[in-house]
Structure 1
Amino acid sequence: MGKRPPAKAVALPRVVISNGTLEALKWLGLVLMTLDHANKYVFAHGLPGAFELGRLAMPIFGFVLAYNLARPGALTSGAYARTMKRLALYGVAATPFFIGLGGLLSGWWPLNIMFTLLVAAGVLYLGSAHETEKIVR
Protein backbone atom coordinates (compact mmCIF):
# COMPACT_ATOMS: atom_id res chain seq x y z
CA MET A 1 0.00 0.00 0.00
CA GLY A 2 1.17 3.48 -0.84
CA LYS A 3 1.59 6.16 1.76
CA ARG A 4 -0.89 8.98 1.82
CA PRO A 5 0.37 12.54 1.69
CA PRO A 6 0.15 14.35 5.02
CA ALA A 7 -3.16 16.07 5.63
CA LYS A 8 -3.14 19.83 5.35
CA ALA A 9 -3.90 21.76 8.49
CA VAL A 10 -7.18 23.62 8.45
CA ALA A 11 -7.15 27.02 10.09
CA LEU A 12 -10.14 27.33 12.39
CA PRO A 13 -11.75 30.70 13.02
CA ARG A 14 -10.53 32.43 16.15
CA VAL A 15 -13.00 32.42 19.01
CA VAL A 16 -13.35 35.92 20.42
CA ILE A 17 -15.06 36.53 23.75
CA SER A 18 -15.44 40.06 25.06
CA ASN A 19 -13.70 41.06 28.26
CA GLY A 20 -17.08 41.76 29.86
CA THR A 21 -18.22 38.21 29.16
CA LEU A 22 -15.01 36.81 30.65
CA GLU A 23 -15.52 38.99 33.71
CA ALA A 24 -19.10 37.71 34.03
CA LEU A 25 -17.85 34.13 33.77
CA LYS A 26 -15.34 34.78 36.56
CA TRP A 27 -18.07 36.21 38.79
CA LEU A 28 -20.37 33.30 37.99
CA GLY A 29 -17.58 30.87 38.90
CA LEU A 30 -16.93 32.75 42.14
CA VAL A 31 -20.61 32.72 43.13
CA LEU A 32 -20.95 29.01 42.33
CA MET A 33 -17.74 28.19 44.21
CA THR A 34 -18.90 30.19 47.24
CA LEU A 35 -22.27 28.43 47.14
CA ASP A 36 -20.54 25.05 47.03
CA HIS A 37 -18.19 25.90 49.91
CA ALA A 38 -21.01 27.30 52.04
CA ASN A 39 -23.09 24.22 51.33
CA LYS A 40 -20.22 21.95 52.42
CA TYR A 41 -18.83 23.78 55.44
CA VAL A 42 -21.79 25.78 56.77
CA PHE A 43 -24.89 23.81 55.80
CA ALA A 44 -23.39 20.27 55.88
CA HIS A 45 -24.59 19.53 52.33
CA GLY A 46 -28.11 20.62 53.26
CA LEU A 47 -28.82 22.87 50.27
CA PRO A 48 -30.41 20.83 47.48
CA GLY A 49 -28.73 21.36 44.12
CA ALA A 50 -25.86 23.42 45.56
CA PHE A 51 -23.33 20.61 45.16
CA GLU A 52 -24.24 20.12 41.51
CA LEU A 53 -24.11 23.85 40.78
CA GLY A 54 -20.80 24.13 42.62
CA ARG A 55 -19.25 21.52 40.31
CA LEU A 56 -19.57 24.04 37.47
CA ALA A 57 -17.10 26.46 39.08
CA MET A 58 -13.90 24.59 38.21
CA PRO A 59 -14.66 24.14 34.49
CA ILE A 60 -15.61 27.82 34.28
CA PHE A 61 -12.33 28.89 35.92
CA GLY A 62 -10.42 26.44 33.72
CA PHE A 63 -12.03 27.84 30.57
CA VAL A 64 -11.27 31.44 31.52
CA LEU A 65 -7.66 30.52 32.36
CA ALA A 66 -7.19 28.65 29.07
CA TYR A 67 -8.81 31.45 27.06
CA ASN A 68 -6.58 34.09 28.63
CA LEU A 69 -3.45 32.01 28.07
CA ALA A 70 -4.46 31.43 24.43
CA ARG A 71 -4.52 35.15 23.67
CA PRO A 72 -2.08 36.28 20.99
CA GLY A 73 1.28 37.20 22.47
CA ALA A 74 0.69 35.45 25.81
CA LEU A 75 3.80 33.33 25.39
CA THR A 76 6.13 36.16 24.41
CA SER A 77 4.76 38.59 27.02
CA GLY A 78 5.49 36.21 29.90
CA ALA A 79 1.83 35.63 30.78
CA TYR A 80 2.42 31.93 31.36
CA ALA A 81 5.25 32.49 33.84
CA ARG A 82 3.32 35.19 35.72
CA THR A 83 0.19 33.03 35.87
CA MET A 84 2.06 29.93 37.03
CA LYS A 85 3.92 31.89 39.74
CA ARG A 86 0.65 33.34 41.03
CA LEU A 87 -1.11 29.97 41.00
CA ALA A 88 1.80 28.40 42.91
CA LEU A 89 1.90 31.26 45.43
CA TYR A 90 -1.85 31.24 46.09
CA GLY A 91 -1.88 27.45 46.12
CA VAL A 92 0.74 27.41 48.88
CA ALA A 93 -1.06 30.22 50.77
CA ALA A 94 -4.38 28.33 50.62
CA THR A 95 -2.90 24.99 51.69
CA PRO A 96 -3.09 25.51 55.49
CA PHE A 97 -6.77 26.46 55.19
CA PHE A 98 -7.42 23.55 52.86
CA ILE A 99 -5.78 21.14 55.31
CA GLY A 100 -7.63 22.72 58.24
CA LEU A 101 -10.95 22.11 56.52
CA GLY A 102 -10.12 18.45 56.06
CA GLY A 103 -8.85 18.50 52.51
CA LEU A 104 -6.30 15.70 52.69
CA LEU A 105 -6.27 12.79 50.27
CA SER A 106 -5.20 9.56 51.96
CA GLY A 107 -4.01 11.56 54.96
CA TRP A 108 -1.06 13.35 53.34
CA TRP A 109 -1.73 14.91 49.92
CA PRO A 110 -2.70 18.56 50.59
CA LEU A 111 -3.10 19.89 47.05
CA ASN A 112 -5.95 22.28 46.31
CA ILE A 113 -7.49 23.45 43.03
CA MET A 114 -4.77 26.07 42.50
CA PHE A 115 -2.28 23.27 41.90
CA THR A 116 -4.63 21.65 39.38
CA LEU A 117 -4.83 24.95 37.50
CA LEU A 118 -1.03 25.28 37.81
CA VAL A 119 -0.55 21.89 36.12
CA ALA A 120 -3.04 22.90 33.41
CA ALA A 121 -1.16 26.17 32.80
CA GLY A 122 2.11 24.24 32.63
CA VAL A 123 0.72 21.83 30.06
CA LEU A 124 -0.64 24.74 28.00
CA TYR A 125 2.77 26.42 28.23
CA LEU A 126 4.56 23.32 26.99
CA GLY A 127 2.11 23.00 24.10
CA SER A 128 2.45 26.66 23.16
CA ALA A 129 6.22 26.66 23.49
CA HIS A 130 6.42 23.49 21.42
CA GLU A 131 4.35 25.08 18.65
CA THR A 132 6.74 28.00 18.49
CA GLU A 133 9.74 25.68 18.90
CA LYS A 134 11.00 27.41 22.04
CA ILE A 135 11.63 24.19 23.94
CA VAL A 136 13.93 21.29 23.14
CA ARG A 137 12.16 18.30 21.68
Structure 2
Amino acid sequence: MRPVTVPAVGKRPPAKAVALPRVVISNGTLEALKWLGLVLMTLDHANKYVFAHGLPGAFELGRLAMPIFGFVLAYNLARPGALTSGAYARTMKRLALYGVAATPFFIGLGGLLSGWWPLNIMF
Protein backbone atom coordinates (compact mmCIF):
# COMPACT_ATOMS: atom_id res chain seq x y z
CA MET A 1 0.00 0.00 0.00
CA ARG A 2 1.38 3.43 -1.05
CA PRO A 3 1.41 6.24 1.45
CA VAL A 4 -0.88 9.13 0.60
CA THR A 5 0.75 12.54 0.67
CA VAL A 6 -1.49 15.40 1.59
CA PRO A 7 -0.30 18.89 0.68
CA ALA A 8 0.04 21.37 3.50
CA VAL A 9 -3.02 23.43 4.27
CA GLY A 10 -3.27 26.44 2.00
CA LYS A 11 -0.73 25.17 -0.51
CA ARG A 12 -1.75 24.11 -3.95
CA PRO A 13 0.29 22.42 -6.59
CA PRO A 14 1.53 24.87 -9.23
CA ALA A 15 -0.99 25.53 -11.97
CA LYS A 16 -0.12 24.34 -15.43
CA ALA A 17 -0.03 27.00 -18.12
CA VAL A 18 -2.76 26.54 -20.66
CA ALA A 19 -2.27 28.05 -24.08
CA LEU A 20 -5.57 29.55 -25.13
CA PRO A 21 -6.32 29.93 -28.80
CA ARG A 22 -5.69 33.42 -30.12
CA VAL A 23 -8.80 35.32 -31.13
CA VAL A 24 -8.28 37.00 -34.48
CA ILE A 25 -10.84 39.44 -35.81
CA SER A 26 -10.29 41.13 -39.14
CA ASN A 27 -9.98 44.90 -39.33
CA GLY A 28 -13.09 45.01 -41.53
CA THR A 29 -15.14 43.26 -38.86
CA LEU A 30 -13.89 45.66 -36.19
CA GLU A 31 -14.79 48.59 -38.43
CA ALA A 32 -18.27 47.13 -38.98
CA LEU A 33 -18.71 46.72 -35.21
CA LYS A 34 -17.75 50.37 -34.69
CA TRP A 35 -20.29 51.50 -37.30
CA LEU A 36 -22.96 49.27 -35.77
CA GLY A 37 -22.26 50.77 -32.34
CA LEU A 38 -22.42 54.28 -33.77
CA VAL A 39 -25.76 53.64 -35.48
CA LEU A 40 -27.23 52.07 -32.34
CA MET A 41 -25.96 54.91 -30.16
CA THR A 42 -27.40 57.50 -32.56
CA LEU A 43 -30.73 55.68 -32.57
CA ASP A 44 -30.77 55.66 -28.77
CA HIS A 45 -29.93 59.37 -28.50
CA ALA A 46 -32.49 60.34 -31.15
CA ASN A 47 -35.09 58.25 -29.33
CA LYS A 48 -34.34 60.04 -26.06
CA TYR A 49 -33.92 63.65 -27.17
CA VAL A 50 -35.99 63.90 -30.37
CA PHE A 51 -38.77 61.35 -30.00
CA ALA A 52 -39.16 61.44 -26.18
CA HIS A 53 -38.75 57.65 -25.89
CA GLY A 54 -41.45 57.10 -28.51
CA LEU A 55 -39.64 54.54 -30.67
CA PRO A 56 -40.37 51.01 -29.45
CA GLY A 57 -37.26 48.90 -29.06
CA ALA A 58 -34.84 51.79 -29.67
CA PHE A 59 -33.83 52.01 -26.02
CA GLU A 60 -33.04 48.30 -25.85
CA LEU A 61 -31.05 48.38 -29.09
CA GLY A 62 -29.20 51.47 -27.90
CA ARG A 63 -28.03 49.63 -24.80
CA LEU A 64 -25.94 47.39 -27.08
CA ALA A 65 -23.71 50.29 -28.19
CA MET A 66 -21.52 50.49 -25.08
CA PRO A 67 -20.70 46.76 -24.90
CA ILE A 68 -19.81 46.82 -28.61
CA PHE A 69 -17.53 49.84 -28.15
CA GLY A 70 -16.03 48.28 -25.02
CA PHE A 71 -15.27 45.04 -26.85
CA VAL A 72 -13.60 46.84 -29.76
CA LEU A 73 -11.55 48.98 -27.35
CA ALA A 74 -10.47 45.95 -25.32
CA TYR A 75 -9.56 44.01 -28.46
CA ASN A 76 -7.45 46.88 -29.76
CA LEU A 77 -5.72 47.38 -26.41
CA ALA A 78 -4.95 43.65 -26.25
CA ARG A 79 -3.03 43.72 -29.53
CA PRO A 80 0.64 42.77 -29.29
CA GLY A 81 2.80 45.80 -28.55
CA ALA A 82 -0.05 48.05 -27.41
CA LEU A 83 1.38 48.48 -23.93
CA THR A 84 4.94 49.18 -25.03
CA SER A 85 3.86 51.63 -27.74
CA GLY A 86 2.01 53.79 -25.22
CA ALA A 87 -1.46 53.01 -26.57
CA TYR A 88 -2.93 52.63 -23.07
CA ALA A 89 -1.93 56.10 -21.87
CA ARG A 90 -2.81 57.71 -25.21
CA THR A 91 -6.25 56.11 -25.21
CA MET A 92 -7.02 57.05 -21.60
CA LYS A 93 -5.99 60.67 -22.25
CA ARG A 94 -8.27 60.84 -25.29
CA LEU A 95 -11.19 59.33 -23.40
CA ALA A 96 -10.74 61.80 -20.53
CA LEU A 97 -10.47 64.75 -22.94
CA TYR A 98 -13.64 63.78 -24.81
CA GLY A 99 -15.44 63.11 -21.54
CA VAL A 100 -14.61 66.61 -20.29
CA ALA A 101 -15.58 68.13 -23.66
CA ALA A 102 -18.93 66.30 -23.66
CA THR A 103 -19.89 67.31 -20.12
CA PRO A 104 -21.30 70.81 -20.92
CA PHE A 105 -23.47 69.35 -23.67
CA PHE A 106 -24.61 66.57 -21.36
CA ILE A 107 -25.58 69.10 -18.70
CA GLY A 108 -27.35 71.23 -21.32
CA LEU A 109 -29.46 68.26 -22.36
CA GLY A 110 -30.63 67.71 -18.80
CA GLY A 111 -28.02 65.30 -17.49
CA LEU A 112 -27.66 66.91 -14.07
CA LEU A 113 -29.36 64.41 -11.78
CA SER A 114 -28.82 66.02 -8.39
CA GLY A 115 -26.44 68.46 -6.78
CA TRP A 116 -23.60 69.83 -8.86
CA TRP A 117 -21.92 66.66 -10.15
CA PRO A 118 -22.95 65.58 -13.66
CA LEU A 119 -22.12 62.03 -14.63
CA ASN A 120 -21.89 61.08 -18.29
CA ILE A 121 -20.62 57.77 -19.70
CA MET A 122 -16.97 58.75 -19.09
CA PHE A 123 -17.27 59.73 -15.43
TM-score after normalising by structure 2: 0.87
Question: Deviation digits for residues 59-114 of structure 1, max 9, x if unmatched?
Answer: 00000110000000000000001101110111110000011111123333323223
Please tell me whether residue 30 in structure 1 is matched to residue 38 in structure 2: yes
Query: In the TM superposition, what is the alpha-carbon distance from 1:53 to its structure 2 partner?
Result: 0.3
Please tell me whether residue 103 in structure 1 is matched to residue 101 in structure 2: no
Query: In the TM superposition, what is the alpha-carbon distance from 1:2 to its structure 2 partner?
Result: 8.4
Aligned to 2:48: 40
The 3 A distance-change label for structure 1 pair 12 and 107 is: same
Gaps of 5+ in 2: 1-8
SS at match of 1:99: helix
The 3 A distance-change label for structure 1 pair 48 and 4 is: same
Moved over 2 A (4+): 1-4, 104-109
Superposed CA RMSD in Å reads: 1.4
SS at match of 1:20: helix
- Report the structure, 1 or 2, having the larger helix content: 1
**Which one has the largest radius of gyration?**
2
SS at match of 1:60: helix
Question: Deviation digits for residues 9-66 of structure 1, max 9, x if unmatched?
Answer: 2121110100100000000000000000000000000000000000000000000110
The 3 A distance-change label for structure 1 pair 54 and 5 is: same
Alignment partners' CA distance in 1, 2:96 and 2:110: 20
Please tell me whether residue 113 in structure 1 is matched to residue 84 in structure 2: no
